[in-house]
Structure 1
Amino acid sequence: MFRRKSIITILAAGMVLSSGTVYAQTISAPNAQSDTAFDNKIIKKISADNMYSTIALLSEQPREAGTEGEVRAVKYIEGQFKSLGFETKVIPFPIYDYRTNHVWVKIGGLNIEGAEPRAFSGSVTGNVTAPLLNVGKARLGEVPDEVAGKIALVERGDITFIEKVQNVLDKGAVGVLMYNNSSNGNAFGQAAEGQNIPSVAITREQGLALVEKLKSGSVTATLDVDIEKIEKTSYVVEAKLKPSKNKDTGQIVTVGAHHDSVHGGPGANDDASGVSAVLELARIFAKAPIDTEVRFLTFGSEERGLVGSSFYASQLPKDDVDRMVAHFQMDMIGGRDAGADNPAGGLIMYTIDGQKNLVTDLGAAAGVRTMGVAIPYGQLGRSDHQPFHELGIPSALFIHSPVEPWYHQPTDTIDKISKEKLQQAAEIVGASVYQIARPETPALENSRVAAGIVDYDFEDRPVD
């Protein structure tokens, strides 16, 4: 583990101009007492019991994307937002499951010997017969032109599956037959949307045998892949809390969690805990004075690869993106057994690039005010803060790390939830968001707000 240490001045969100730049106001001395008084308007109203009850309800059944479990959760979340009077919208988007009917590989007209081949995740249906060409690891610039019209024999490793498929596809290959770079079978491989050639995985032993066979002359191969694509629907729930027009700074702050769980998992901590905090903060902010739009979000299909948050980010109007100044993501914030022996129960703020930003600045300062600990930051993707970062919006993931042994298991149940950790995370995020949204910190260059000085560190801490 290594640490980057620096001392910075935390400016309240009034220092963030509509353009997204930071206005560095000079203040002779910090006034943390004033900030704490404003924090109390939020954090004293947070109820861990409310959050625990929400988790209990949501984790009664799995919420896998595209299932009735997700629909049940979405209806509940939507109902809670509507009961608070928010402008609420359920946004559907398509997701896809794939059922493999058969995968056949023939060499010289005979079925390949050994383990049954497997189709890549995302491979298309297709039946092609063509000469086989060994292209090594199919790195960019190393794929020969003569692969056009042929099936590329590719070794796994060095670059991603999708890059390998694209590199041979760009040269005109009609199929991909990839062999492992270790003895760990053939359960691997991924193709992307639009890579419309059959892509199949075989074992290392099978691949090396083909490499040797090609040294003796030409080899004709057949790839026959029959995959059924099944469309389903997943959802994003969006709730907008807007200030009165005469106090509106024009800025937007977003607070999110994902409502889906893994297949067969009740997902009490992952991520009913984050959803419970989103709903609890929505309840409290509904009655708080604000001058900034606060947008509460829950995303479906996070467990499929951030599909819901990526869809949401892709359909945002440019004006909304330009006005978004911060995104706070909460994922797995209630794990009793998470965090190991790290301070603050292991709570950490992860950014995509491993750099500090407005969200981590405010989170660290709020941690000092609410619990006397400057929350560290680290570098990690793997959650729904990533699409917001990619839009240029300061973003961070709040999580207790390393995660608990029940991660992605059927044992991720309500009895593993810590009310203290729920309270802790909700207080820090709530206080941070309110620093931006409270009327005392308008987005004006001449605002006079309190500043706090806090020292917080980078930690190279793995999440699992």
Structure 2
Amino acid sequence: MKIGGKLKVLMLSMMLAVSSLYVMPIQFSQTAVAQEKGQSGAAFDQKVISRISMERIYEDVHYLSETIGPRVAGTEEEKFTANYIKERLLSYGYEVEVQDFSIPDLKVGHLQTDNGDEVLINIPSGSAATTEEGLTAELYDAGLGYAADFTDEAVGKIALISRGELTFQVKVENAIAAGSAGVLIYNNIDQAGPLNPSINENAPLPVGGITKVSGEALLEDVASQDGTVTLKVNAIENATSQNIIAKRTPKKGGNHDILHVSAHFDSVPFAPGASDNASGTAVALEMARVLKSYPIDKELRFAFVGAEEIGLVGSRYYVSQLTEDEIDRSLANFNMDMVGTSWENATAIYMNTVDGQANIVSETAAATAERIGTPSELVLYQRGSSDHVSFHDAGIAAVNFIRREPGTANLEPYYHTPLDTIEHISAERLKEAGDLVGASVYSLIRN
């Protein structure tokens, strides 16, 4: 079953480095967390490490990214993934809860040339939808989208506009005034993923964003030859996403501390999401299998959350449903996102905290890494942008585990692109993440 499908992409090159804003790493102490139970943790580490299966994790990443494919929030693919996770957790004997929640209305689109080539496109929420057949029209080269860039030739055509100098909103308004039937805005810098143009008001025509390479190719190969493109924009209204929560409580006592392990399973459009974030999801599933029956003295919860890519919506909803008592009893959150990339520069495991400060999660992981000899460098770093933010904002100690390039903190070049596939996943690094986080979690919950 192939749900995602393969896209024919109108691009000359996509192997471009994608970076993110960063600050310098913060130095921290790798002082071991005190062994409250009076024994060396090494033997207990092996109870987890010996059972973490690299093959199982890799197979799950392959299934999620290659069989299901892109898992965009609110789509059938995301719902299928949620059910897949739920059934797996039920088979392990966990108490499983499905949390449904509303998400903002979405617009998804497709852009195709008259010779059948498909162009990657992002659709802003303010775009108008098209009919099911879409809008088929010639392209009009509107330069930077100034009013003076439009002539009578723009009427009824799709305006192809370069990013730069004017806001996206003004470019769209000028195209509307000129009588254009649609708007395509292409980037003015080389980035692998299509531009996501934000517009402040709902437009009466379809609007999309594409890459610099795609825009230039359309100008040369389509617009100059009086060719046409077909633009389709579909509105996904009243959409929902879901979280899958697995819970395991100690057999004795009550009001136990709670430890949360989280990973998001949705992806961005067009991206199979092997690294982001089938990797974290698959590692968390394997941890759930390994930790399903060992004696524990704290409550263990696995939170597989949806809709992360549209603003951490799933994790925020999950945390919002915790009672005040549950928040007070929450010891920590281990969040995994993009832990399996094979990109050779991503030699470090970054432990992102919102405030840049060490906490029980980072210090436990540092102590575990020292005991088990984790191959990769661990870097404590100040960074949000993942589901650990939702836990931090509620006062719960949280760390996002993610692979980055040391020094620059760059993410892999396949990030948020159609190249985020199984070909760029390291089975060994998946196992390394499972060993590190799995042993760390067990050191805090074991009886």
Deviation digits for residues 390-443 of structure 1 (CA, Å, limit 9, x no counterpart): 01100000011132111111111112111110011111111111111011xxxx
Pairing partner for 1:395 from 374, 388, 398: 398
> Is 1:376 equivalent to 2:363 in the alignment?
no
Once residues 334 and 10 of structure 1 are traced to their aligned partners in structure 2, the CA distance between those partners, rounded to angstroms, is: 26
For 1:382, what is the secondary structure of its paired residue?
A: coil
Deviation digits for residues 250-272 of structure 1 (CA, Å, limit 9, x no counterpart): 10000011000111111011100
Q: What aligned pairs does 1:162-173 form with structure 2 within 5 A after superposition? A: none
Once residues 362 and 74 of structure 2 are traced to their aligned partners in structure 1, the CA distance between those partners, rounded to angstroms, is: 33
> Is 1:352 equivalent to 2:354 in the alignment?
yes
> Is 1:41 equivalent to 2:47 in the alignment?
yes
Deviation digits for residues 228-274 of structure 1 (CA, Å, limit 9, x no counterpart): 8822111111000111024x561000001100011111101110000
Q: Which amino acid counterpart does residue 47 of structure 1 have in structure 2?
A: S
Q: What aligned pairs does 1:79-228 form with structure 2 within 5 A after superposition? A: 79-95=87-103, 96-97=105-106, 98=125, 100-101=127-128, 113=147, 189=198
Return closer, same or farther for 1:68/1:438 CA change in 2, 3 Å cut-off. same
Once residues 374 and 262 of structure 2 are traced to their aligned partners in structure 1, the CA distance between those partners, rounded to angstroms, is: 25
Q: Is this contact kept in 2: 1:252–1:293, CA < 8 A? A: yes
Return closer, same or farther for 1:290/1:335 CA change in 2, 3 Å cut-off. same
Deviation digits for residues 57-82 of structure 1 (CA, Å, limit 9, x no counterpart): 11122111111110110110000000
Alpha-carbon shift at residue 9 of structure 1 (Å): 3.6
Return closer, same or farther for 1:363/1:90 CA change in 2, 3 Å cut-off. same
- In structure 1, the partner of 2:319 is 313
> Is 1:230 equivalent to 2:237 in the alignment?
yes
Q: Is this contact kept in 2: 1:238–1:297, CA < 8 A? A: yes
Alpha-carbon shift at residue 43 of structure 1 (Å): 1.2
For 1:297, what is the secondary structure of its paired residue?
A: strand
Return closer, same or farther for 1:190/1:44 CA change in 2, 3 Å cut-off. farther
Return closer, same or farther for 1:429/1:243 CA change in 2, 3 Å cut-off. same
Pairing partner for 2:367 from 348, 353, 365: 365
> Is 1:295 equivalent to 2:295 in the alignment?
no
- In structure 2, the partner of 1:256 is 262
Greater Rg over alpha carbons, structure: 1
Return closer, same or farther for 1:291/1:403 CA change in 2, 3 Å cut-off. same
For 2:96, what is the secondary structure of its paired residue?
A: strand
Alpha-carbon shift at residue 355 of structure 1 (Å): 0.6
Once residues 148 and 238 of structure 2 are traced to their aligned partners in structure 1, the CA distance between those partners, rounded to angstroms, is: 33
Once residues 436 and 44 of structure 1 are traced to their aligned partners in structure 2, the CA distance between those partners, rounded to angstroms, is: 18
Alpha-carbon shift at residue 44 of structure 1 (Å): 1.0
Return closer, same or farther for 1:312/1:190 CA change in 2, 3 Å cut-off. farther
Q: Percent identity?
A: 39
> Is 1:245 equivalent to 2:245 in the alignment?
no
- In structure 1, the partner of 2:5 is none
For 2:276, what is the secondary structure of its paired residue?
A: helix
Q: Which amino acid counterpart does residue 100 of structure 1 have in structure 2?
A: S
Alpha-carbon shift at residue 46 of structure 1 (Å): 0.2
> Is 1:434 equivalent to 2:437 in the alignment?
no
Alpha-carbon shift at residue 338 of structure 1 (Å): 5.6
Q: Is this contact kept in 2: 1:335–1:403, CA < 8 A? A: no
Once residues 65 and 36 of structure 1 are traced to their aligned partners in structure 2, the CA distance between those partners, rounded to angstroms, is: 40
Once residues 395 and 338 of structure 1 are traced to their aligned partners in structure 2, the CA distance between those partners, rounded to angstroms, is: 27
Alpha-carbon shift at residue 10 of structure 1 (Å): 2.8
Alpha-carbon shift at residue 5 of structure 1 (Å): 3.8
Q: Is this contact kept in 2: 1:254–1:294, CA < 8 A? A: yes
For 1:41, what is the secondary structure of its paired residue?
A: helix
For 2:322, what is the secondary structure of its paired residue?
A: coil
Once residues 66 and 348 of structure 1 are traced to their aligned partners in structure 2, the CA distance between those partners, rounded to angstroms, is: 30
Once residues 69 and 427 of structure 1 are traced to their aligned partners in structure 2, the CA distance between those partners, rounded to angstroms, is: 29
Q: Which amino acid counterpart does residue 74 of structure 2 have in structure 1?
A: G
Deviation digits for residues 71-113 of structure 1 (CA, Å, limit 9, x no counterpart): 11011000000001111011111112245339xxxxxxxxx94
Q: Which amino acid counterpart does residue 361 of structure 2 have in structure 1?
A: V
Q: Is this contact kept in 1: 2:374–2:432, CA < 8 A? A: no
- In structure 1, the partner of 2:9 is none
- In structure 2, the partner of 1:222 is none
> Is 1:421 equivalent to 2:423 in the alignment?
no
Alpha-carbon shift at residue 190 of structure 1 (Å): 7.1
RMSD: 2.9
Give TM-score scaled by structure 1 length.
Answer: 0.62
Once residues 266 and 315 of structure 1 are traced to their aligned partners in structure 2, the CA distance between those partners, rounded to angstroms, is: 30
Q: Is this contact kept in 2: 1:338–1:346, CA < 8 A? A: no
Once residues 245 and 394 of structure 1 are traced to their aligned partners in structure 2, the CA distance between those partners, rounded to angstroms, is: 25
- In structure 2, the partner of 1:62 is 70
For 2:128, what is the secondary structure of its paired residue?
A: strand
Q: Is this contact kept in 2: 1:364–1:376, CA < 8 A? A: no
Once residues 417 and 281 of structure 1 are traced to their aligned partners in structure 2, the CA distance between those partners, rounded to angstroms, is: 19
Q: Is this contact kept in 2: 1:338–1:400, CA < 8 A? A: no
Return closer, same or farther for 1:188/1:325 CA change in 2, 3 Å cut-off. same
- In structure 1, the partner of 2:336 is 330
For 2:243, what is the secondary structure of its paired residue?
A: strand
Q: Which amino acid counterpart does residue 238 of structure 2 have in structure 1?
A: E
Once residues 232 and 36 of structure 1 are traced to their aligned partners in structure 2, the CA distance between those partners, rounded to angstroms, is: 47
Alpha-carbon shift at residue 2 of structure 1 (Å): 5.0
Return closer, same or farther for 1:12/1:278 CA change in 2, 3 Å cut-off. farther
Worse-matched range after superposition: 350-359 or 372-381: 372-381
Once residues 93 and 430 of structure 2 are traced to their aligned partners in structure 1, the CA distance between those partners, rounded to angstroms, is: 25
Q: Is this contact kept in 1: 2:24–2:381, CA < 8 A? A: no
Return closer, same or farther for 1:187/1:4 CA change in 2, 3 Å cut-off. closer
Q: Which amino acid counterpart does residue 82 of structure 1 have in structure 2?
A: L
Q: Which amino acid counterpart does residue 331 of structure 1 have in structure 2?
A: D
For 1:405, what is the secondary structure of its paired residue?
A: coil
